[in-house]
Structure 1
Amino acid sequence: MRFFTNEICFDILPAQTQYIESEKMYVLGNASFSQIWEHYQMAVESKIKGKAHMVFKVSDYKKVIEKLKSKFKLIEAAGGLVKKDEQFLFISRWKKWDLPKGKVEKGEEIELAAVREVNEECGIEVSLNQKIGETWHTYIQKGKDILKETHWYLMNCENDQNAKPQLEEDIEEIRWFTANEVESVAFNNTYESIKDIYNRYINKPV
């Protein structure tokens, strides 16, 4: 499982998982849940310095993930990476480049929620293409630890003639970026989870 806290990437992996290490990684083998939680709290308090990627290898993966999730209030969301020709749709919210997404309503199908959120936030009509994957990120709300799972879909733009940012959701701008502009402009001021899902779509290692 991978989640992001204050732009720190946490990877919790089964003990036998193989991966390529980098200088930005902090790797702990045979990790306990308490060690994972301790580092999570350090990330919340911005006490982790010099490392952007925390890797914890655990012997009982399923048990650790269940215990981790039990510590949070879980929220489910859905959104899209919208493509038009060779361009990708980004939104600017709170002065950062993001992808359109929002909470899944009670009883709502995830795919429909993703399409609805893109339409509401950007005024764009889209069609579903394929699922890219999920991202997880944490935040604190009213003193509670929140873990949000977002389901991401590749979408095709069908009509953007009425495109406009949803101002009541603090969206300041919507913009189409080429692939080069995504990496040279959007990636300079976005979230690590957004980089993660975009790179997964284009099959780049994170």
Structure 2
Amino acid sequence: MFKVFVGDKPIILTTKVEQETSFKNYLLETVNIRKVIKELNNSNLESVRLIHKNPDKLLKKFLKKLPNVIAGGGKVFNENKEILFIYRNDKWDLPKGKIEGRETIETTAIREVTEETGVAGLEIVKPLETTYHIFKRNGRYKIKITYWFEMKTSFNGNLYAQEEEGITKVEWLDSGRIQSALENSYANIRALI
């Protein structure tokens, strides 16, 4: 099973057909994905389930439905066990961005965290869950596939918000502040934290 978010509502890729209650079932092979996105955005449906009999083909077949954007990002801890957050588009988020050229996804994640926040000395600890969400740019829907990494740093310099990317704040948040930030965040980010 995979979840692909449209805003905070998931499209669930699954092999199981379940009785529809607050969601609708569609066959992955024949679904009109743009219609599903509109339906999620403009109704009280909580989710949509796309069904395919082969669990190994669920994600691959879904990703062919829309153009893909590959990104890397970081859940960064400092020496005080605080997590690095950015504030963009009136939401708390984790730093991430698109892959450039032939760089590895790990290089992308470190570069993007540094560019968006000013934090240096980043070290990848381990890979985290990959997230998927659908967004609209220039009138076209795309799927962003974000490869996340847990990172650590001993950086204690000034934080820098990359304003040209729409970031207005960069902050280290402790566990108490993280909980309130997550109330104004994205479903993908809540799942990572």
Q: TM-score range by the shorter chain?
A: 0.7 to 0.9
Instruction: Determine if contact 1:72/1:144 at 8 Å carries over to the other structure.
Output: no
- C-alpha contact (below 8 Å) 2:159/2:171 kept by paired residues: no
Indicate if the aligned counterparts of 2:161 and 2:167 stay in contact, CA closer than 8 A.
yes
1:69-124 residue CA offsets vs partner (Å, 9 max, x unmatched) = 22211110001001122211111112110100000112001101101111111110
Moved over 4 A (4+): none
Q: Which has the higher helix share?
A: 1
Among 148, 163, 169, the alignment partner of 1:167 is: 163
Who is 2:97 aligned against? 102
1:63-142 equivalent positions in 2, closer than 5 A? 63-84=57-78, 85-125=80-120, 126-142=122-138
State the superposition RMSD in angstroms. 2.2
Aligned to 1:202: none
Query: Partners in 2 of 1:98 and 1:32 — Cα distance?
Result: 32
d(CA) in 2 for partners of 1:121, 1:25? 38
Question: C-alpha offsets along residues 172-199 of structure 1, whole Å, 9 cap, x if unaligned?
Answer: 111111123211x11121111111222x
Partner of 1:20: none
Deviation string 1:116-174 (CA, Å, 9 cap, x unpaired) is 11111111011111111210111122232201100100110221313211122111111
The answer to whether the 8 Å contact 1:36/1:56 transfers is: no
Tell me which amino acid in the other structure corresponds to 2:84.
L
Q: Find out whether 1:59 has 2:53 as its counterpart.
A: yes
Distance 1:48 1:56 in 2: 17
SS of equivalent residue, structure 2 residue 116: helix
* 1:145 matches 2:146: no
How far off its partner does 1:64 sit?
4.6
Give the C-alpha shift of residue 35 in structure 1.
4.9
For residues 25 and 153 of structure 1, what CA distance do their matches in structure 2 show?
A: 33
Give unpaired runs (5+ residues) of structure 2. none
CA distance 1:62–1:25, change in 2 (3 Å): farther
Residue 194 of structure 1: aligned partner: 189
TM-score by length of 1: 0.80
- Tell me, yes or no, if structure 1 residue 6 matches structure 2 residue 7: yes
2:170 is aligned with what amino acid?
A: I
Unmatched tracts of structure 1, length 5 or more = 17-23, 199-206
Percent identity between matched residues is 26
Change (3 A) 1:108 1:175: same
Q: How far apart are the structure 2 equivalents of 1:64 and 1:128?
A: 29
* CA pair 71-176 structure 1, distance change in 2 beyond 3 A: same
Could you tell me how far 1:50 is from its partner in structure 2?
5.1
SS in 2 for 1:133: coil
